[in-house]
Structure 1
Amino acid sequence: MTLLAAALIVHDRAAGRVVLLRRGERAKFGRGLWDLPVGKSEPGEPVTTTAVRELYEETGLTVRPEALEVAHLIHGARGVEAPGGYLTVVFAAHEWSGEPENREPAKHAEVRWTGIGELPVNCVPGTRHALSGYLGGGPRVSLDGWGRPGDRAGTA
């Protein structure tokens, strides 16, 4: 079975920045790497609700589901909690309320605004592909671990 997840790019266009979090030492994957707010869908939960819920749980920011735009899709052949593969729908939001804070310090080392010209190199690979596709007008679909030519680069 394929795991469904949602990630969210909170994009402050006026200030040219996005919200990122650095995964902590006890994170299930990507320890020490920068990532988007992301999490798996609960049974029967719409993926837009997942994105809004995970953003709030991890950063304290609030967005409206109807304000979300699809920014990128990441389809992985397997993952830490997804031996049957995963699909992450990456949304973008340009309207939010609140200021980012680390609401899950057991999972994350830091949550902050990051300038789009200063994005860290040490990102979770899917996050790097999603951000470069969204911000730079590149590919909007990433494939991970499928073992076909071209998949190693993470984009399709």
Structure 2
Amino acid sequence: MEQMEREPRMPHPRPDQPTALPPTRDSATLLVAAVILHDRATDHVLLLQRGPQAKFAPNHWDFPGGKNDPGEPVTATAIRELHEETGVTVGPKDLRLAHVIHNAWGVDAPGGFVTVVFSADEWSGHPENREPHKHAHVRWTPTTALPTPFVKSTAAALHHHLTGDGPQISESGWG
């Protein structure tokens, strides 16, 4: 009877030992989160304008959002970035999936990036520009008079949100 060769059994990792190597920034897909705050009573959305020195889309309008920290759930990223940039607070239960953007390449993401866009109708606090070194303006804007230029991928996410199409996926740069 032919005997099957078994793979050697890996020892159980110690609690202080990582179980996987961390991804490198050069090849990993960057995870980003953004939030559409929509005041339905006034039909305004909260937007920020990227500053003139921004590496990506200078002077373009966009949603509050930013990069995921290692080990951070994407909902926590959305909540943290919204608060860091605007001072507005949302709870995890207030976030609803609005859109997913998957790009093959980005300024800080040569391996591509995925932006998970959430929407929220409930929040606390009054928006202010808490990162004036990054953003020129933070303001409520009527959905019928959106400023330009607007970041193309998030403009599509906002369009789907406002038309009630439900969560959609946008892909770009894949060939």
TM-score by shorter chain over 0.5 = yes
Question: Which segment is superposed worse, 24-33 or 105-114?
Answer: 24-33
Q: Residue by residue, what CA displacement relative to the aligned partner does 1:84-130 show, whole Å, maximum 9, x if unpaired?
A: 01000000000011111000000000000001111123101111111
Query: Which structure 2 residues correspond to residues 29-68 of structure 1 after superposition, within 5 A?
Result: 29-68=56-95
State yes or no: 1:77 paired with 2:104.
Answer: yes
- Aligned mates of 2:94, 2:48 — CA distance in 1: 22
Aligned length: 147
128, 135, 155: which is aligned to 1:101?
A: 128
TM-score, structure 2 normalization: 0.81
Where does structure 2 lack aligned partners over 5 or more consecutive residues? 1-27
Structure number with bigger Rg: 2
Query: Counterpart of 2:144 in 1: which secondary structure?
Result: helix
Query: Counterpart of 1:117 in 2: which secondary structure?
Result: coil
Q: Which residue of 2 aligns with 1:145?
A: 173
Q: Which residue of 1 aligns with 2:6?
A: none
- Displacement after TM superposition at 1:72 (Å): 0.3
- Aligned mates of 2:94, 2:80 — CA distance in 1: 14
Aligned-residue identity in percent:
60
TM-score, structure 1 normalization: 0.91
- Displacement after TM superposition at 1:18 (Å): 0.5
Q: Structure 2 counterpart of 1:145, which letter?
A: G
Q: Which residue of 2 aligns with 1:152?
A: none
Question: Which segment is superposed worse, 132-141 or 122-131?
Answer: 132-141
Higher helix fraction (1 or 2):
1
Report runs of 4+ in structure 1 exceeding 6 Å deviation. Answer: none
- Aligned mates of 1:28, 1:135 — CA distance in 2: 28
